[in-house]
Amino acid sequence: MVDNYGDAGFSWRLTRRLTEILASNHFTVNENKVRLFCDDIPLIKKLAGEAIIAKLMSLGLRIESWDHAEQIIKPNEMPEVVLETFSCDLPELYLTQITDSLLINVEYLSAEPWIEDMHGLATLPSLPNQHPRYFYYPGFNNRTGGLLGPSEPFSTDANNSKVLNELFKEIRTESSVISIFNYGENNFIDFLDQLMNQGTKADLFICYGKAQEAVTKWLGKPFNRPIDLDQIRLIPTPFVNQEEYDALLARCDLNWVRGEDSFVRAQWAAKPFIWDIYPQEDQVHLEKLDAFLNIYLPKDNLQLAQKIINMMKNHAVDTWWNDLSNINSYAQEWANTLHSSQLDADLGVRIINFIKPLLKKG
């Protein structure tokens, strides 16, 4: 895993989605329909939650240690398909045993146009007697692999989460509610300073991890309980599972997200969001941000588009804050657009449809 929650989060959601699809379509496959290999199983269990893992295991899911991958394959249990997420090469000994398996690398999500040309292409095998490895690119249109959609209705009702209900007891009336799950960089601290200076009444859920660490450093004292600073209230938020986090996004007025998984969930939540994109060398990440904004921004309202740019690129808060309600309306329109583009199939269904003809080829 490169970015913990983003990489592990997407891998888990994909695993869950594939398990759900295979179960609902009654595919005749081996008893263990889906296996997830991961180098941090405790994190997967925290992201998923006990109830969801138990349900999926009853549908044939197994979660295995990355270090034991090569020990688990048996001659009569060769997988038909092996998915590698984010170019994480599987152990070489494992690869040498699965030479008859279809290999697919599920790449990072991007809105850059070039992925449409690369999606579905194959590369030469890296080992003798191995099949080609195919590259599968998630994306925002039908010329790509799509996005992971919502999960099946057997999921628990995260809106009744005790953790979230306790957190929302801290919310004040007529206050803007913001969730913060970012990398805790200087632009986040500038954001806090500006909210205080302009007297904005806002309650901020500061999520576990880098954001809380940044606030602790900014305060210069422990941050283990809600703290009021002028008109803003900072609320430390514990690690929650994915369903609870999705519910949190849906109940906030603004969400600051990062990486890939929370970025997509923020869009499904249909609320304004700031994407703290994972920083890369040579500022390549800013090209990815611009590529997304190119498809995301409204084409018929340049004034609103500029407000969203100001928000996304961490310009002065007073250049966009007063238009948050209009940005919210547009976020709902965008979510509807995403739903419409995936009515036939989300990433989970599309990847299975991608696999079927390749398996027939042998």
Q: Which listed residue (7, 84, 203, 243) is catalytic?
A: 7
Alpha helices per DSSP H over the chain: 5-24, 41-48, 50-58, 69-72, 92-97, 114-118, 162-168, 186-197, 210-219, 242-251, 261-268, 284-296, 302-312, 324-341, 347-361
Please give the Cα distance from 127 to 136 (Å, whole number).
20
Q: Quick: pLDDT tens for 75-120.
A: 777 888 999 998 787 887 888 888 888 999 999 999 999 999 999 9
* Structure-model confidence comparison of residues 20 and 77, the more confident one: 20
pLDDT at 132 over 90: no
Does 276 participate in catalysis according to the annotation? no
Q: Which listed residue (246, 260, 276, 346) is catalytic?
A: 260
**According to the model, what pLDDT value does residue 279 have?**
77
Q: Quick: pLDDT tens for 154-177.
A: 445 666 789 999 999 999 999 999
Does 260 participate in catalysis according to the annotation? yes
**According to the model, what pLDDT value does residue 154 have?**
44
Q: Count other Cβ atoms within 10 Å, centred on residue 76.
A: 6
Instruction: Let me know if domain 158-341 sits in CATH 3.40.50.2000.
Output: yes
The pair of three-digit structure tokens given for residue 95, joined into one six-digit string:
């690869």
For CATH 3.40.50.2000, the residue range(s) in the chain are: 158-341
Lowest model confidence (mean pLDDT) among 77-91, 183-197, 254-268, 287-301:
77-91
Q: Quick: pLDDT tens for 248-276.
A: 999 999 999 998 899 999 999 999 999 99
Residues 330, 304: contact at Cβ < 8 Å? yes
**According to the model, what pLDDT value does residue 27 have?**
53
